[in-house]
């Protein structure tokens, strides 16, 4: 990269990167390593490199010249599809394993094997039981919890192929279930789906692109169920998120306190650590600190933020920056999206890198294996290590960028319903009416990761600005939500400054309904990346109320910085349930025109959802807003003066006489 490009939209991150630039002897940052990696492998980027057997690596010539087949005869679409499926399987494995671990924890509680947990939301337990068809009558809490968790674990263990996953069946519209069933993409067992996907993509098994991709969709549906299990059981154990005012960005670190940064995804550990801080307060003080300050990173951060209002320090791409502050005494990680570079960085500071899951070990870590049965003890050992580390702080190294935003978070479906109920006894009809009268034009989900290929967080901000201006309400999860909370999108001020008139009116009315003088924020933080299930559940209820399917609703999803395999699988189930999904980073499939056509067009024909591949966030937002307009037109709500095509391009974009043609950037790569 010859030209200097902006590394992050976050001034806090930039401040720390600049500090490190001027220091000798520090490890490389993610940005340095990205630059050093250029040019990245074009075959890999196009997804046409196959390393599934040792006769390879094989790669297809993307220019149309030979070789057009791998040694075994696999064509571009076979290689691309198989590689894609393996990413989907990995994403599913990650989310679902997370769900399973929550279930195991709940199970341990029910069996009396742990004193670290309790049922924090009986109400959620009952509503989940009702949703999955378990009668609550005459059952005590633990018995009901046992039945719920047993049913959840059955989704990991069922052997009858004809019985659909409970947590899938209960999160889609009846019409969707019919489509999914007809397309043979309804799984019966989450683990079996991962296995089947790995089997199907083994050398010499499935080579036909559509059956392969449909298998990927089936696996993704298992992922949706796994995510829904994670969310439901987490809420039962740790409470349903409620609206909370708190803060975000690196300025939440406190110089005079023991700073614990909780990073990863699973709340099972972080919740207990948060519970144990009070008990450890004295020890902290004895060490010279004024207290213990927990901050979140990535999705563990989002979980803590949603349920406890624990401040969020930063998201995925800037995890190294957390250590760079020199003020973090322990970086405690569970799993997923933990960068192996953290060990290198921790070595240069006093920070302890503590890994807690035997799945996720790091070079340079201290491993304190965390078990539900010994949770309190484990938590204390971990906190104690941080207190010890505090004593080794080097004041010269400390630089906490003074950036933080006051934020409003905690928008679970239950919280949203409660807010809406102040307006109407029929909260979803209220949303339908608000959509129909055009006060809000639609919903945009902003989800997904950070991806170093683009300026950190910038695309999220650009897209969010455009959505809000156009009266589109934003629901955010994961690192996208992490970006938006840190950029001032989750406050009343954001509504006043950024929202269109209709949206502002809507949010002001909702605010008044719950006794606030100020409007609600225009971006609703709905949780971590597994909590995309919350959004799915909200939209399914809305679609049912409207008498349509998700494929008809004026909604879009965007992951402008998609990065992980989990993002791939979320994108896949979103599409299969009828969402238009924008991704800003090409997902290694453009080596097969057939697979790209399926993703962009044929998926829409079959499922109603489709991918929009667009690297430019301005263009992406324009097309996504157009897609919402297109769907409003199809619903019979609005006229179609611009003649918008289903992919968000207008007649003016496509026809010369009406204006200069715009290339469909999704075709043909970057």
Query: Rule CB under 8 A: which residues touch other proteins?
Result: 68, 75, 77, 181-184, 208-211, 214, 547-548, 552, 593-594, 597-598, 600-602, 605-606, 633-636, 639-640, 643, 645-647, 649, 651, 654-655, 657-658, 664
Q: What tokens were used for 157?
A: 């263990």
| Least CB distance to other proteins at residue 166 (A) | 20
* Block residue for tokens 């004593």: 391
Give 348 or 652: the residue with its C-beta nearer to other proteins.
652
Give 183 or 366: the residue with its C-beta nearer to other proteins.
183
Give 45 or 653: the residue with its C-beta nearer to other proteins.
653
Give 84 or 474: the residue with its C-beta nearer to other proteins.
84
What are 407's strand-pairing partners?
Answer: 246
The answer to whether 386 and 368 are in contact (CB under 8 A) is: no
Give 389 or 594: the residue with its C-beta nearer to other proteins.
594
- By DSSP bridging, strand 49-50 and strand 58-59 are antiparallel
| Least CB distance to other proteins at residue 326 (A) | 54
Give 397 or 664: the residue with its C-beta nearer to other proteins.
664
| Least CB distance to other proteins at residue 181 (A) | 8
Give 105 or 173: the residue with its C-beta nearer to other proteins.
173
The answer to whether 365 and 338 are in contact (CB under 8 A) is: no
Q: Could you count the other beta carbons within 10 Å of the beta carbon of residue 306?
A: 33
Give 376 or 545: the residue with its C-beta nearer to other proteins.
545
Task: Report the largest interatomic distance among the alpha carbons of the chain, rounded to a whole angstrom.
Answer: 76
The DSSP-derived string for 166-227 is HHHHTTS-HHHHHHHHHTT---S-HHHHHHHHHHHTSTTS---HHHHHHHHHHHHHHHHHHH
Give 102 or 644: the residue with its C-beta nearer to other proteins.
644
Nearest-angstrom CA–CA distance, 284 and 383 = 9
| Least CB distance to other proteins at residue 574 (A) | 20
Nearest-angstrom CA–CA distance, 453 and 40 = 11
Where does 4-132 show beta strands of DSSP type E?
A: 49-50, 58-59
Phi, psi of 353 (to 5 degrees): -95, 110
Give 209 or 488: the residue with its C-beta nearer to other proteins.
209
Q: What tokens were used for 124?
A: 């959620």
- 3-state helix, strand, coil split of the chain in percent (to 5) is 50, 10, 40
What is the 3 state secondary structure string of 230-258?
A: HHHHHHHHHCCCCCEEEEECHHHCCCCCE
Q: Could you count the other beta carbons within 10 Å of the beta carbon of residue 176?
A: 21
What are 352's strand-pairing partners?
Answer: 330
Give 291 or 593: the residue with its C-beta nearer to other proteins.
593
- Element containing residue 314 per DSSP (H, E): strand 312-314
The answer to whether 523 and 507 are in contact (CB under 8 A) is: no
Task: Give, in order, the Cα–Cα distances in Å from 530 to each of 242, 295, 452, 479.
Answer: 17, 20, 22, 11
């Amino acid at each position: 990269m010859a030209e200097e490009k902006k590394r992050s939209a976050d001034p806090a991150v930039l401040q720390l990167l600049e500090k490190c630039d001027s220091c000798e002897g520090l490890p490389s940052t993610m940005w340095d390593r990205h630059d050093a990696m250029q040019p990245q492998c074009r075959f890999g980027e196009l997804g046409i490199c196959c390393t599934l057997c040792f006769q390879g690596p094989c790669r297809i010539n993307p220019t149309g010249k030979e070789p057009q087949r791998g040694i075994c005869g696999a064509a571009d679409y076979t290689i691309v599809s198989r590689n894609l499926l393996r990413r989907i399987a990995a994403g599913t494995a990650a989310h679902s394993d997370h769900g399973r671990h929550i279930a195991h924890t709940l199970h341990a509680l029910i069996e009396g094997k742990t004193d670290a947990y309790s049922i924090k939301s009986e109400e959620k337990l009952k509503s989940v039981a009702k949703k999955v068809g378990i009668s609550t009558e005459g059952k005590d809490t633990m018995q009901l919890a046992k039945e719920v968790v047993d049913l959840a674990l059955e989704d990991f263990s069922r052997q009858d192929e004809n019985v659909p996953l409970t947590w899938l069946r209960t999160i889609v519209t009846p019409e969707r279930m019919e489509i999914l069933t007809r397309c043979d993409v309804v799984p019966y067992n989450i683990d079996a789906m991962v296995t089947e996907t790995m089997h199907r993509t083994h050398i010499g098994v499935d080579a036909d692109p559509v059956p392969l991709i449909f298998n990927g969709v089936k696996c993704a549906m298992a992922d949706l169920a796994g995510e829904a299990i994670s969310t439901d059981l987490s809420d039962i154990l740790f409470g349903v998120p409620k609206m909370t005012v708190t803060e975000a960005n690196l300025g939440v670190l406190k110089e005079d306190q023991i700073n614990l940064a909780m990073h990863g995804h699973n709340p099972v550990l972080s919740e207990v650590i948060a519970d144990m801080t009070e008990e450890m307060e004295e020890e902290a003080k004895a060490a010279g600190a004024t207290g213990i300050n927990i901050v979140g990173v990535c999705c563990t951060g989002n979980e803590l933020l949603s349920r406890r209002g624990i401040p969020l320090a930063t998201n995925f791409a800037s995890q190294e920056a957390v250590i760079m502050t020199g003020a973090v005494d322990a970086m405690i990680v569970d799993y997923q999206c933990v960068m192996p570079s953290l060990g290198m960085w921790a070595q240069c500071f006093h920070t302890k890198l503590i890994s807690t899951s035997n799945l996720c070990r790091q070079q340079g870590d201290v491993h304190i294996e965390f078990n539900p049965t010994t949770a309190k003890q484990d938590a204390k050992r971990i906190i104690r290590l941080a207190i010890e580390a505090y004593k080794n702080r080097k004041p010269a190294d400390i630089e906490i960028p003074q950036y933080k935003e006051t934020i409003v978070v905690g928008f679970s479906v239950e919280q949203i319903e409660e807010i809406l109920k102040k307006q109407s006894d029929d909260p979803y009809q209220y949303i339908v009416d608000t959509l129909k009268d055009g006060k809000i034009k639609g919903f945009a989900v902003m989800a997904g990761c950070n991806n170093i290929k683009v300026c950190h967080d910038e695309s999220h901000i650009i897209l969010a600005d455009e959505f809000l201006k156009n009266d589109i309400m934003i629901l955010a999860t994961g690192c996208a939500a992490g970006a938006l909370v840190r950029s001032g999108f989750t406050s009343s001020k954001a509504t006043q400054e950024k929202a269109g008139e209709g949206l502002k009116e809507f949010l002001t009315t909702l605010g008044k309904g719950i006794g606030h003088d100020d409007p609600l924020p225009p971006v609703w933080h709905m949780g971590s990346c597994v909590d995309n299930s919350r959004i799915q559940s909200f939209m399914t209820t809305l679609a049912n109320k409207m008498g349509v399917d998700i494929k008809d609703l004026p909604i879009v999803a965007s992951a402008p910085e998609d990065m992980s395999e989990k993002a791939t699988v979320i994108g896949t189930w979103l599409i299969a349930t009828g969402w238009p999904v924008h991704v800003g980073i090409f997902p290694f499939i453009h080596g097969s025109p057939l697979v790209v056509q399926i993703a962009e067009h044929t998926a829409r024909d079959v499922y109603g959802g489709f991918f929009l591949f667009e690297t430019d966030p301005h263009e992406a937002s324009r097309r996504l807003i157009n897609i919402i307009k297109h769907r409003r037109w199809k619903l019979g709500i609005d006229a179609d003066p611009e003649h918008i095509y289903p992919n968000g391009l207008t007649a003016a974009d496509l026809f010369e006489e009406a204006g200069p043609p715009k290339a469909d950037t999704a075709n043909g790569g970057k």
